[in-house]
A and B are shown apart, each in its own frame.
Chain A
């Protein structure tokens, strides 16, 4: 008798919960968003994925980027290459271009073709691959900073002011702490605009 009662209660409660198994669209969307906290999201949101992530951002803790290829700035700059030869678009646009294999091969099709790294790069190109360079400098999303390279190049600010002396560096690393005081001090010195809307929008 007790067993029958239990089955009946179970059946009734399942029926009552039937609505739950087919939630309205917003509830489903909210569940997907909740899952996003743990990084397996199908939703893009500016919210930090976890408390640890938010804490790291707050204190500016970031892992140093690991580049996919052992490119040496020191060797190339010793050959009197200029920054803009590879980082194209920096004189006309907001972003300094990050070169792909095709840029490298404009020279390396003829130069140092017997070096093992150049060989492996040529091999990558024939296989249709390209470098997945990692960003070195970046602003956290909350900073709402839109940095533009071109006005700085026009104002004759040296690349090394913000990126350090690349002739001494193999792989690019963060040399300068680009916090707001760094930007504002220079803007004051050069009598550039210090209005918030110059950078934050």
Chain B
């Protein structure tokens, strides 16, 4: 059976340290735009950690939610792309093809999760910082849209390693950069079609919810959170 990649984020484990954000930037050659343009809303973070305050000081509680592309089954971004740059692959990845993208930005406007980013500038790295760019990932130029790929280069590497060692791909072989960097193990990636995989089992947890579920985009990222009204849930 074909793979169907999905992710589970355990919010009860997330400490909001943003190691995932840093790892994502390093892995995927995501440029920074400087404070001025970030203030103009042109910062690019394929992954971000949203912060929610509950209560008033000094009894305030803070909750964190890492938000990345939800790789929707019924993705609003795909339907609006005039060049089919945004499309669904056989493995359930919501792909963005830079070559096809003409920069209409319709997809970013259609996206309910605000996880698509437009290259308003050609990215720049002060030398010798360009030596840390990942050769397995493109450097995107001005005028194209980009987004989380579920680290498709790592999915390919995992498959390649399994093929070289003449074995089936097993759960845990593939880890996106964010999942690898997470110190509390809050991010679990896996094949949702493999019912034995950790991600598939956790996706059915009673703690699980989808982000903005009622929009009907059918995201493949599940958020786990102990509900205050149902403390007995595991």
Contacts and interface: CB of A to CB of B under 8 A. Distances in A.
A29 interface: yes
Given A151-B160, A196-B87, A45 B122 contact: yes
A151 B90 contact: no
B156 to A, nearest CB: 7
Contacts of A142: 99, 141
A151 B98 CA distance: 23
A46 B122 contact: yes
A200 B133 CA distance: 17
Majority DSSP secondary structure for residues of B touching A: loop
Contacts of B93: 197
B139 A46 contact: yes
B127 to A, nearest CB: 5
B137 A44 contact: no
Contacts of B142: 47
Given A196-B95, A197-B93, A47 B129 contact: no
A181 interface: no
A201 B141 contact: no
Interface of B: 34, 36, 87, 89-90, 93, 95, 97-100, 122-127, 129-130, 133, 136-142, 149, 152-153, 156, 160, 163-164
19 contacts: A29-B34, A33-B124, A41-B127, A43-B125, A45-B124, A45-B125, A47-B122, A47-B142, A92-B160, A141-B139, A142-B99, A146-B136, A148-B160, A150-B160, A196-B87, A196-B95, A196-B97, A196-B100, A201-B153
